Amino acid sequence: MADAALVLTGSPSLAPLLARGAVLSPFKRPAPDAEFPRTRLVLPGLRVDLARLAAYERVCGFPTGEDALPVTYPHVLGFPLAMRLMSGRDFPLPLLGLVHTSITITRHRAMPATGAHELTVYVQGLAPHRRGTEATVVTEVREDGDVVWESRSTYLARHRTRRPAEAPREGTGMPREEVRKPLPAVGEWRLAEDVGRRYAAASGDRNPIHLHPLTARLFGFPRAIAHGMWTVARCLAAHGTPASCHVRAEFRAPVLLPGTVTYGAQDGRFELRGREDRIHLTGDVYPT
Protein backbone atom coordinates (compact mmCIF):
# COMPACT_ATOMS: atom_id res chain seq x y z
CA MET A 1 0.00 0.00 0.00
CA ALA A 2 0.94 3.60 -0.47
CA ASP A 3 2.14 5.67 2.48
CA ALA A 4 1.49 9.42 2.77
CA ALA A 5 -1.35 11.22 1.02
CA LEU A 6 -0.86 14.38 -1.01
CA VAL A 7 -4.08 16.34 -1.47
CA LEU A 8 -4.28 18.24 -4.76
CA THR A 9 -6.29 21.39 -5.43
CA GLY A 10 -6.92 20.59 -9.09
CA SER A 11 -6.32 18.03 -11.81
CA PRO A 12 -2.75 18.23 -13.18
CA SER A 13 -2.18 19.44 -16.75
CA LEU A 14 -1.16 16.51 -18.91
CA ALA A 15 1.06 18.24 -21.47
CA PRO A 16 3.85 19.24 -19.01
CA LEU A 17 3.72 15.78 -17.45
CA LEU A 18 4.17 14.09 -20.83
CA ALA A 19 7.09 16.40 -21.58
CA ARG A 20 8.73 15.75 -18.20
CA GLY A 21 8.29 12.00 -18.58
CA ALA A 22 9.83 12.08 -22.06
CA VAL A 23 12.86 14.05 -20.87
CA LEU A 24 13.48 11.75 -17.91
CA SER A 25 12.87 8.46 -19.74
CA PRO A 26 16.47 7.90 -20.97
CA PHE A 27 17.74 8.10 -17.39
CA LYS A 28 15.43 5.45 -15.94
CA ARG A 29 16.73 2.02 -14.96
CA PRO A 30 13.68 -0.27 -14.74
CA ALA A 31 13.82 -3.33 -12.49
CA PRO A 32 11.15 -5.21 -10.53
CA ASP A 33 12.97 -4.55 -7.23
CA ALA A 34 13.42 -0.82 -7.84
CA GLU A 35 12.02 1.78 -5.46
CA PHE A 36 8.79 3.43 -6.58
CA PRO A 37 6.72 6.39 -5.32
CA ARG A 38 4.63 5.54 -2.25
CA THR A 39 2.54 8.70 -2.19
CA ARG A 40 -1.23 8.54 -2.68
CA LEU A 41 -2.48 11.47 -4.75
CA VAL A 42 -5.94 12.61 -3.63
CA LEU A 43 -8.19 15.02 -5.54
CA PRO A 44 -11.37 15.87 -3.61
CA GLY A 45 -14.45 17.67 -4.90
CA LEU A 46 -13.90 16.83 -8.56
CA ARG A 47 -16.78 17.66 -10.89
CA VAL A 48 -17.12 16.33 -14.42
CA ASP A 49 -16.86 18.67 -17.41
CA LEU A 50 -20.11 17.71 -19.14
CA ALA A 51 -18.98 18.95 -22.58
CA ARG A 52 -15.86 16.76 -22.48
CA LEU A 53 -17.95 13.88 -21.18
CA ALA A 54 -20.33 14.22 -24.14
CA ALA A 55 -17.37 14.22 -26.56
CA TYR A 56 -16.03 11.08 -24.87
CA GLU A 57 -19.41 9.37 -25.09
CA ARG A 58 -19.70 10.17 -28.80
CA VAL A 59 -16.25 8.91 -29.78
CA CYS A 60 -16.62 5.72 -27.71
CA GLY A 61 -20.23 4.94 -28.71
CA PHE A 62 -21.91 5.43 -25.33
CA PRO A 63 -25.36 7.07 -25.17
CA THR A 64 -25.08 10.81 -24.56
CA GLY A 65 -26.95 12.80 -21.97
CA GLU A 66 -27.42 10.05 -19.39
CA ASP A 67 -26.79 10.99 -15.76
CA ALA A 68 -24.65 7.93 -15.03
CA LEU A 69 -20.98 8.03 -16.06
CA PRO A 70 -19.80 5.39 -18.55
CA VAL A 71 -18.01 2.59 -16.71
CA THR A 72 -14.63 3.54 -18.21
CA TYR A 73 -14.84 7.31 -17.71
CA PRO A 74 -13.35 7.42 -14.18
CA HIS A 75 -10.12 6.15 -15.76
CA VAL A 76 -10.04 9.38 -17.78
CA LEU A 77 -10.58 11.41 -14.61
CA GLY A 78 -7.76 9.62 -12.80
CA PHE A 79 -5.31 9.53 -15.72
CA PRO A 80 -3.70 12.95 -15.01
CA LEU A 81 -2.95 11.85 -11.44
CA ALA A 82 -1.47 8.59 -12.68
CA MET A 83 0.64 10.52 -15.16
CA ARG A 84 1.92 12.78 -12.40
CA LEU A 85 3.18 9.71 -10.56
CA MET A 86 4.58 7.92 -13.62
CA SER A 87 6.36 10.99 -15.02
CA GLY A 88 8.17 11.76 -11.76
CA ARG A 89 11.85 11.27 -11.03
CA ASP A 90 11.07 8.64 -8.39
CA PHE A 91 9.09 6.40 -10.78
CA PRO A 92 11.62 3.85 -12.09
CA LEU A 93 10.00 2.96 -15.43
CA PRO A 94 10.53 5.18 -18.50
CA LEU A 95 7.34 6.86 -19.64
CA LEU A 96 8.38 6.63 -23.30
CA GLY A 97 7.58 3.16 -24.56
CA LEU A 98 5.46 2.25 -21.51
CA VAL A 99 2.68 -0.13 -22.63
CA HIS A 100 -0.74 -0.35 -21.00
CA THR A 101 -1.21 -4.13 -20.85
CA SER A 102 -4.40 -4.65 -18.81
CA ILE A 103 -7.10 -3.05 -16.71
CA THR A 104 -9.59 -4.41 -14.20
CA ILE A 105 -12.53 -2.26 -13.10
CA THR A 106 -15.01 -2.80 -10.29
CA ARG A 107 -17.99 -0.47 -10.22
CA HIS A 108 -19.95 -0.83 -7.02
CA ARG A 109 -22.81 1.38 -8.12
CA ALA A 110 -23.68 3.80 -10.90
CA MET A 111 -21.98 7.18 -10.57
CA PRO A 112 -23.90 10.37 -11.35
CA ALA A 113 -22.25 12.62 -13.93
CA THR A 114 -23.35 15.70 -12.00
CA GLY A 115 -21.98 14.61 -8.62
CA ALA A 116 -18.79 15.52 -6.79
CA HIS A 117 -16.15 12.78 -6.64
CA GLU A 118 -12.94 12.18 -4.72
CA LEU A 119 -10.12 10.53 -6.66
CA THR A 120 -7.22 8.60 -5.18
CA VAL A 121 -4.37 7.25 -7.33
CA TYR A 122 -1.25 5.38 -6.24
CA VAL A 123 1.33 2.90 -7.49
CA GLN A 124 0.59 -0.46 -5.88
CA GLY A 125 3.89 -2.08 -6.82
CA LEU A 126 6.25 -3.51 -9.41
CA ALA A 127 6.48 -7.07 -10.66
CA PRO A 128 8.77 -9.04 -12.99
CA HIS A 129 7.41 -9.78 -16.45
CA ARG A 130 8.96 -12.09 -19.04
CA ARG A 131 9.55 -9.02 -21.21
CA GLY A 132 10.60 -6.56 -18.51
CA THR A 133 8.99 -4.91 -15.47
CA GLU A 134 5.31 -4.23 -14.90
CA ALA A 135 3.84 -1.55 -12.63
CA THR A 136 0.34 -1.65 -11.18
CA VAL A 137 -1.45 1.67 -10.73
CA VAL A 138 -4.64 1.84 -8.64
CA THR A 139 -7.40 4.41 -9.09
CA GLU A 140 -10.25 4.78 -6.61
CA VAL A 141 -13.33 6.99 -6.72
CA ARG A 142 -15.20 7.79 -3.52
CA GLU A 143 -18.59 9.32 -2.82
CA ASP A 144 -19.34 10.32 0.77
CA GLY A 145 -16.31 8.32 1.87
CA ASP A 146 -17.35 5.08 0.15
CA VAL A 147 -15.40 3.55 -2.74
CA VAL A 148 -17.86 3.39 -5.64
CA TRP A 149 -15.40 2.63 -8.45
CA GLU A 150 -11.87 1.21 -8.52
CA SER A 151 -9.42 0.00 -11.13
CA ARG A 152 -6.02 -1.60 -11.46
CA SER A 153 -3.99 -0.90 -14.58
CA THR A 154 -0.74 -2.65 -15.46
CA TYR A 155 1.96 -0.88 -17.46
CA LEU A 156 4.92 -2.72 -18.98
CA ALA A 157 8.42 -1.36 -19.51
CA ARG A 158 10.27 -3.67 -21.89
CA HIS A 159 13.90 -4.45 -21.09
CA ARG A 160 16.25 -7.40 -20.91
CA THR A 161 15.57 -9.82 -18.10
CA ARG A 162 17.42 -12.72 -16.54
CA ARG A 163 14.37 -14.96 -16.62
CA PRO A 164 14.47 -17.79 -19.18
CA ALA A 165 12.47 -17.17 -22.33
CA GLU A 166 9.14 -18.92 -22.62
CA ALA A 167 9.26 -22.02 -24.78
CA PRO A 168 8.01 -21.41 -28.33
CA ARG A 169 4.98 -23.07 -29.83
CA GLU A 170 6.04 -25.91 -32.06
CA GLY A 171 6.76 -24.76 -35.58
CA THR A 172 6.10 -21.08 -34.91
CA GLY A 173 9.04 -19.71 -32.94
CA MET A 174 6.48 -17.71 -30.91
CA PRO A 175 5.80 -18.08 -27.16
CA ARG A 176 2.95 -20.30 -26.12
CA GLU A 177 -0.29 -18.49 -25.36
CA GLU A 178 -3.87 -19.45 -24.71
CA VAL A 179 -5.53 -20.99 -27.76
CA ARG A 180 -9.15 -19.98 -27.92
CA LYS A 181 -11.85 -20.09 -30.55
CA PRO A 182 -13.07 -16.75 -31.86
CA LEU A 183 -16.18 -15.46 -30.14
CA PRO A 184 -19.26 -15.11 -32.34
CA ALA A 185 -18.96 -11.97 -34.46
CA VAL A 186 -21.44 -9.27 -33.47
CA GLY A 187 -20.21 -6.46 -35.69
CA GLU A 188 -17.48 -5.25 -37.99
CA TRP A 189 -16.17 -1.76 -37.25
CA ARG A 190 -14.35 0.39 -39.75
CA LEU A 191 -12.15 2.76 -37.78
CA ALA A 192 -11.36 6.17 -39.21
CA GLU A 193 -7.86 7.59 -39.31
CA ASP A 194 -8.81 10.36 -36.84
CA VAL A 195 -10.13 8.13 -34.03
CA GLY A 196 -6.95 8.65 -32.03
CA ARG A 197 -7.14 12.43 -32.31
CA ARG A 198 -10.83 12.50 -31.41
CA TYR A 199 -10.28 10.31 -28.37
CA ALA A 200 -7.24 12.36 -27.36
CA ALA A 201 -9.32 15.56 -27.48
CA ALA A 202 -12.00 14.00 -25.28
CA SER A 203 -9.70 12.20 -22.83
CA GLY A 204 -6.60 14.40 -22.73
CA ASP A 205 -4.33 11.44 -23.57
CA ARG A 206 -2.26 12.96 -26.40
CA ASN A 207 0.43 10.30 -26.68
CA PRO A 208 1.97 10.90 -30.15
CA ILE A 209 1.63 7.24 -31.17
CA HIS A 210 -2.14 7.81 -31.39
CA LEU A 211 -2.25 11.13 -33.25
CA HIS A 212 -0.60 10.93 -36.66
CA PRO A 213 1.32 8.44 -38.84
CA LEU A 214 4.46 10.58 -38.75
CA THR A 215 4.63 10.73 -34.94
CA ALA A 216 3.68 7.05 -34.66
CA ARG A 217 6.59 6.09 -36.93
CA LEU A 218 9.00 7.68 -34.48
CA PHE A 219 8.04 4.86 -32.08
CA GLY A 220 8.13 2.03 -34.61
CA PHE A 221 4.48 1.93 -35.75
CA PRO A 222 3.64 2.13 -39.47
CA ARG A 223 0.52 4.18 -38.71
CA ALA A 224 -1.15 5.76 -35.71
CA ILE A 225 -2.70 3.25 -33.31
CA ALA A 226 -5.95 3.41 -31.36
CA HIS A 227 -5.81 4.06 -27.62
CA GLY A 228 -6.19 0.83 -25.69
CA MET A 229 -8.76 2.48 -23.43
CA TRP A 230 -10.75 3.53 -26.48
CA THR A 231 -10.92 -0.10 -27.65
CA VAL A 232 -12.23 -1.38 -24.31
CA ALA A 233 -14.66 1.54 -23.96
CA ARG A 234 -16.00 0.93 -27.48
CA CYS A 235 -16.51 -2.77 -26.68
CA LEU A 236 -18.28 -2.02 -23.40
CA ALA A 237 -20.50 0.57 -25.08
CA ALA A 238 -21.61 -2.17 -27.48
CA HIS A 239 -21.83 -4.86 -24.82
CA GLY A 240 -23.54 -2.92 -22.03
CA THR A 241 -22.69 -3.04 -18.33
CA PRO A 242 -24.85 -3.49 -15.22
CA ALA A 243 -24.77 -0.76 -12.57
CA SER A 244 -22.67 -2.97 -10.28
CA CYS A 245 -20.12 -4.93 -12.28
CA HIS A 246 -16.57 -6.20 -12.68
CA VAL A 247 -14.67 -5.67 -15.94
CA ARG A 248 -11.37 -7.18 -17.05
CA ALA A 249 -9.57 -6.37 -20.28
CA GLU A 250 -6.18 -7.31 -21.70
CA PHE A 251 -4.59 -5.34 -24.51
CA ARG A 252 -2.96 -7.91 -26.77
CA ALA A 253 -1.93 -6.11 -29.99
CA PRO A 254 -2.20 -2.54 -31.30
CA VAL A 255 -5.05 -1.52 -33.61
CA LEU A 256 -3.71 0.43 -36.60
CA LEU A 257 -5.66 3.43 -37.89
CA PRO A 258 -7.44 3.46 -40.24
CA GLY A 259 -8.46 -0.17 -40.03
CA THR A 260 -11.22 -2.72 -39.69
CA VAL A 261 -11.83 -4.90 -36.64
CA THR A 262 -14.38 -7.54 -35.71
CA TYR A 263 -16.19 -7.23 -32.40
CA GLY A 264 -17.15 -10.57 -30.90
CA ALA A 265 -19.11 -11.30 -27.73
CA GLN A 266 -20.71 -14.20 -25.90
CA ASP A 267 -21.80 -14.89 -22.30
CA GLY A 268 -20.10 -11.84 -20.80
CA ARG A 269 -16.90 -12.22 -22.81
CA PHE A 270 -15.85 -9.83 -25.56
CA GLU A 271 -12.95 -9.36 -27.94
CA LEU A 272 -11.62 -7.40 -30.87
CA ARG A 273 -9.97 -9.27 -33.74
CA GLY A 274 -8.23 -8.08 -36.86
CA ARG A 275 -7.04 -9.73 -40.03
CA GLU A 276 -6.40 -13.48 -39.85
CA ASP A 277 -8.12 -13.46 -36.45
CA ARG A 278 -5.30 -11.53 -34.81
CA ILE A 279 -6.41 -10.76 -31.26
CA HIS A 280 -6.25 -7.09 -30.28
CA LEU A 281 -8.28 -7.15 -27.06
CA THR A 282 -9.90 -9.74 -24.82
CA GLY A 283 -12.10 -9.14 -21.83
CA ASP A 284 -15.15 -10.00 -19.80
CA VAL A 285 -17.80 -8.20 -17.81
CA TYR A 286 -20.17 -9.62 -15.22
CA PRO A 287 -22.47 -8.31 -12.46
CA THR A 288 -21.27 -8.20 -8.86
Residue 114's alpha-carbon distances to 28, 51, 67, in angstroms, are 40, 12, 7
CA 234, 236, 239, 240 dihedral sign is: negative
Residue 120 Rama label (left phi>0; alpha psi -120 to 50; beta): beta
Which pLDDT score, from 0 to 100, does residue 2 have?
A: 54
Q: In what order do the strands lie in the sheet with 116-129?
A: 5-7, 40-47, 116-129, 132-143, 146-158, 99-107, 245-251, 279-287, 269-273, 259-266, 185-191
Which pLDDT score, from 0 to 100, does residue 179 have?
A: 60
pTM over 0.75: yes
pLDDT tens, per residue, the chain with 288 residues: 557 999 999 999 998 999 999 999 999 999 999 999 999 999 999 999 999 999 999 999 999 988 899 999 999 999 999 999 999 999 999 998 899 999 999 999 999 999 899 999 999 999 999 999 999 999 999 999 999 999 999 999 999 887 554 444 343 343 444 567 899 999 999 999 999 999 999 999 988 899 999 999 988 899 999 999 999 999 999 999 999 999 999 999 999 999 999 999 999 999 999 988 899 999 999 999
CB 220 within 8 A of CB 256: no
